[in-house]
Copies of this chain bind each other. A is one copy, B any other.
Amino acid sequence: MTEIHSAWLPPEAFRAIGSRRVLVAGEGPLVETVREEVGRACAGFGGSLADGADLVLATWESLPDGARKVLDGAEPGGDEEFLIGRRGGVTVVAGGPAGVLYGLFHVVRMGERAFGADFAAEPHRPAMRRRMLDHWDNVDVHPVMGQVERGYAGGSIFWEEGGPRGDLERVRAYGRLLAAVGVNAVAVNNVNVHATEARLLTDRLGDVADLAGVLRPYGIKVHLSVTFAAPVVLGGLDTADPLDEDVRAWWAEATHRVYEAIPDFGGYLVKADSEGQPGPFAYGRTHADGANLLAGVLAPYGGVVHWRAFVYDHRQDWRDRSTDRARAACDHFAPLDGQFAENAILQVKHGPMDFQVREPVSPVIAAMPRTRLAVELQVTQEYTGQQRHVCYLAPMWREVLGFEPWGPGGRSVAGVAEELVAVSNVGADPYWTGHPLAQANLYAFGRLAWDPGLDPGEILDEWIGLTFPDVAERVREPLRTIMDGSWETYERYTAPLGVGFMVRPGHHYGPDVDGYEYTPWGTYHFADRDGVGVDRTRATGTGYTGQYPEPWSEVYESLERCPDELLLFFHHVPYGHVLKSGKTVIQHIYDTHFAGAEEVAALRPVWDGLAGLVDPALHARVGELLDEQLRSAREWRDQINTYFFRKSGVPDAHGRRIH
């Protein structure tokens, strides 16, 4: 198979639009994109681009008066907003140029419903001002990490062996898919910026401009990961001190040239003083100093800097139980609240560690009210099955976005964050994401960034309807069975009760309970013959619970009130500790691991039932991956159970086989 999968935009998804008379009114590249989409759809399904229309897609300025009446005199909003309404057999979408584009894809999602009964004008606007995908793509193949760091879908769609891949049609198709879910920003290279990639800022800038040119008609701005040491490694200066005038001048000049090449360039993304990347600490400066330097040179052009809060000591001594990586981001950044420039955005991983299957929400999110925050998710499944396991992540993200750091009724994470950013799961694989069903995660990310209140099941239904339009009603139930609970299934057979990790060091696939236990990475479970878990209480542990506001600081501190699923993240408990479920910790470990593997075993027959309904190649690919998932889930089950049985000596209450 060399053809690229159509994902959630197969031709059939445009049938409702394509079989109608459509007026597209307005100017500019985004409206041109809409016109092109509608034209292609009409060519396929017998409709027409016409004056008299069943559907009007127009910018406010170009909206015909008749159509304007359908919207009941609604007022224009921001560039990305749109209104949609239907009256007297005409469906009208009006908005800013990007809004019209998003409105088009809204109509695609609605399908025939958009042309049924009248409905009053509804305003649509994105909850997050920036909905961004970070590509951890390298230009050069990294000797350890490969072309895409933590990539599980083949090579990069942008880069190949040291230069641009050159297949801009593929990039264009990607931009189209992203526009259809509302993504409006893409960072095109890895946050770990190596030598070649650093030069994207300077002499390889043309490659970035090419990508920007292709993505522009889809409303997507291009961002660039830069190395904080650029003035030294590229500019030949002897310092990268953010308060040095020459350094500032160098960045100003470099940025000027970027905007000459890419007038709508989005901005810079920086991982500084983290896992070996250079940063302001080397010069005795703060991260605010570092971020503001770049914010300052970007501001004249309307650009922003995304500054990652993922800063911790990755050379920790495992013997030292007082240091706690979970504390690091808050310890580093909370004191800087209020010091960041207006166009500096602090990009915070959703949890305090590193994209584990279960983590509490990062306390940074509640700790910096005077700082613009982007919450970072990981669509690429580094710790959640690496696109070999089915793991539909929207339920986890929905929990994160709905979490109320100040307690029930207070603002939610979605209300605090101005942006939602995710590490992309896309590569040069024909299915885009390696596992065809992992497309749903990319889809759901965009949809939740637009509207964090959406229900993960409904998102899945949307995705199924678009991706499998001809057979949606026959595949919906089986796919929901396979995907709805897949995150919780994955959690059951992997690291228990929020303790995290237990993966093979390096590649992070498959189990290795002690793999990180005696390393410098700060990721420990402290299991001994008596118990397991990390004491992060103020009373006897690292004090991490104190980084939360009330009520969570008390809830997490309390062994009684702490939610079961996070128990081992916050507490070290004996194996005999009884959970709210009524089970002991050790029996919970056994039960969930047997159950998780059994749940995976049950997926294959469900999938087999879809044979003949979905494309045979796709069917075969998912089938093979389900086999691997089952093998891996059993390996997890057996290693985890054996490990804890050998340590605890407690037999399984049900006498099942533990090796």
Contact = CB atoms under 8 A, between A and B. Distances in A.
Interface in A384-440: none
Interface string A312-353: 000000110000000000000000000000000000000000
A255 B528 CA distance: 60
Interface in A508-524: 511-515, 518
Q: Which of A513, A514, A518, A649 has the most CB of B within 10 A?
A: A518
B319 A638 contact: yes
A649 B518 contact: no
A512 B530 CA distance: 21
Classify the secondary structure of A's interface with B. Answer: loop
Contacts of A639: 518
Contact of A511 (B518, B645, B659): B518
Interface string A528-549: 1110000000000000000000
Given A319-B659, A659-B319, A648 B514 contact: no
Given A514-B514, A518-B511, A518-B642, A528 B649 contact: yes
A647 B518 CA distance: 15
Nearest to A658: B319
A129 to B, nearest CB: 43
Interface in A214-254: none
Contacts of A530: 649
Contacts of A635: 518
A143 B144 CA distance: 9
Nearest to A646: B528
Q: Which of A319, A506, A635 has the most CB of B within 10 A?
A: A319
Interface string A618-659: 000000000000000001001100110111110000000001
A523 to B, nearest CB: 14
A527 interface: yes
Contacts of A647: 528-529, 646-647
Interface in A133-168: 143
B648 A529 contact: yes
Contacts of A514: 512-515, 643
Contacts of A527: 646
Contacts of A643: 514, 518
A528 B528 CA distance: 11
Interface of A: 143, 318-319, 506, 511-515, 518, 527-530, 635, 638-639, 642-643, 645-649, 659
21 contacts: A143-B143, A318-B659, A319-B638, A319-B659, A506-B506, A512-B514, A512-B515, A512-B518, A513-B514, A514-B514, A514-B643, A518-B642, A518-B643, A528-B649, A529-B529, A529-B646, A529-B647, A529-B649, A530-B649, A646-B647, A647-B647
Shortest 9 CB-CB distances between A and B: which pairs?
Answer: A528-B646, A319-B659, A514-B514, A529-B529, A518-B639, A529-B649, A529-B647, A319-B638, A647-B647
